[in-house]
């Protein structure tokens, strides 16, 4: 596969970041990574923490997966192993961030708990790595794409949790509390983000 075709100018990297975060928002435009959102978005502070963790993982794994794919899998004709390789790498990156979080903020580590290892199977992260393969990006651009995708997810979950915190769930029909209203919020926000579509074509 041919490598980078686009120019490496700062503008293009910036545009890639912005489009991955907004016009192609991995949660609101592509609908990936919703399970963690449904589970954790009831509080802003835990959402911020999880969002930061996810952004770290998407950036690091996009870069690592780019390297492994183009410098190991392709030369060895093992492209068909990309799914399993990416997952293994993501799992390792998540383990690393769990350790860092335990050291740095035990409160957050405990409150996020099971959702940290669940980042491994968060389809948003695998999705970003796989989408990256379809694009003619170089390394820096891949980095921007990964960071932008993660940042977009972070932005989305923070906004959703802000909205949820302000909603008085006792006023809802009882069946809608929790996941029900969250899905509705995600849907309405996705509609809003449709407004971004077509702004940047990458």
Partner 1 sequence: MKQSPDQSDLMKNFSPSKFSAGGFLGNDTRTIGEIISADLKVLEKNDIEKEALAGTLQSWYDRAKAAMGGETEIAPGVTAMYHEARGKIPSPFRGEGTFEKGDVVLREASSGKEVVLTCLSIHLIRAHGFFQGKGQRFRVDPADIIDIIKRTGTQ
Partner 2 sequence: MTQNLWMNILLSIGFLAALGTVLSVLLILAEKKILNYGECLIDINDGKKTIPVQGGSSLLSSLSENEIFIPSACGGRGSCAYCKVQVKEGGGMIGPVETPSLSGDEIKNNIRLSCQVKVRSDIFISIPDEIFSVKHFTGKVVHKKPLTHDIIELKIALTKPENIDFTAGQYLQIETREYKGREQVSRAYSLSSVPSDTRSVELIIRKVPEGISTTWVFDHLKEGDPVNFSGPYGDFRLSDTDSPVVFIAGGSGMAPIWSMLRDMKEKGITRTAYYFFGALSQRDLFFLDELRSLEEELGWFTFIPALSHEPENSGWEGERGLITDVVRRRLPDLNGFEAYLCGSPGMIDACIKVLTESGIPEENIFYDKFA
What residue ranges bind partner 2 (CB under 8 A)?
72, 76-78, 80-81, 84-85, 88-89, 92, 95-96, 99-100, 102-103, 106-107
Residue span binding partner 1 (CB under 8 A) among the ranges 58-66, 87-95, 110-118, 186-194: 110-118
What is the CB-side half-sphere exposure of residue 13 using CA atoms within 13 A? 11
Residues 34-53 contacting partner 1, CB under 8 A: 38-40
Spell out, one character per residue from 55 to 94, where the chain touches partner 1: x when CB under 8 A holds, - when not.
----------------------------------------
DSSP letter string, the chain: -----S---HHHHHHHHHIIIIIT-TTTTS--SHHHHHHHTT-HHHHHHHHHHHHHHHHHHHHHHHHHIIIIITTTT-GGGHHHHHHHHHHHHHHHHHHHHHHH-HHHHHHHTTHHHHGGG-HHHHHHHHHHHHS---HHHHHHHHHHHHHHHHHHHHHHHHHHHHS-GGGS-GGGTTHHHHHHHHHHHHHHHHTTTTSS--
Nearer to partner 2 by Cβ, of 72 and 199: the residue is: 72
**110 is an interface residue for partner 1 by CB under 8 A:** yes
Mark the segment that binds partner 1 (CB under 8 A) among 62-70, 83-91, 105-113, 186-194.
Answer: 105-113
Q: Which residues inside 148-187 make contact with partner 1, applying CB under 8 A?
A: 178-179
Q: Is 117 in the site for partner 1 (CB under 8 A)?
A: no
Query: How near is the Cβ of 113 to partner 1 at its closest, in Å?
Result: 4
CB nearer partner 2, residue 100 or residue 194: 100
C-beta of residue 31 within 8 angstroms of C-beta of residue 190: yes
Kindly list the residues in this chain that would bind partner 1 in the complex (CB under 8 A). 38-40, 110-115, 118, 178-179
């Amino acid at each position: 596969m041919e490598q980078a075709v686009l120019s490496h100018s700062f503008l293009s990297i910036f545009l890639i970041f912005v489009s991955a975060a907004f016009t192609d928002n991995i949660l609101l435009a592509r609908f990936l990574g919703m399970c963690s959102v449904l589970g954790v978005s009831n509080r802003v502070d835990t959402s911020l923490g999880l969002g930061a963790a996810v952004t770290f993982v998407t950036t690091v794994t996009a870069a690592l997966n780019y390297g492994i794919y183009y410098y190991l899998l392709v030369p060895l004709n093992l492209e068909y192993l990309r799914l399993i390789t990416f997952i293994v790498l993501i799992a390792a990156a998540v383990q690393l961030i769990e350790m860092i979080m335990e050291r740095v903020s035990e409160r957050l580590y405990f409150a996020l708990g099971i959702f940290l290892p669940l980042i491994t199977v968060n389809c948003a992260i695998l999705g970003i790595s796989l989408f990256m393969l379809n694009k003619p990006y170089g390394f820096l651009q891949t980095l921007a794409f990964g960071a932008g995708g993660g940042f977009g997810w972070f932005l989305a979950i923070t906004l959703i949790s802000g909205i949820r915190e302000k909603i008085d769930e006792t006023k809802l029909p009882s069946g809608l509390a929790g996941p029900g209203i969250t899905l509705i919020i995600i849907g309405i926000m996705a509609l809003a983000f449709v407004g971004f579509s077509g702004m940047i074509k990458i």
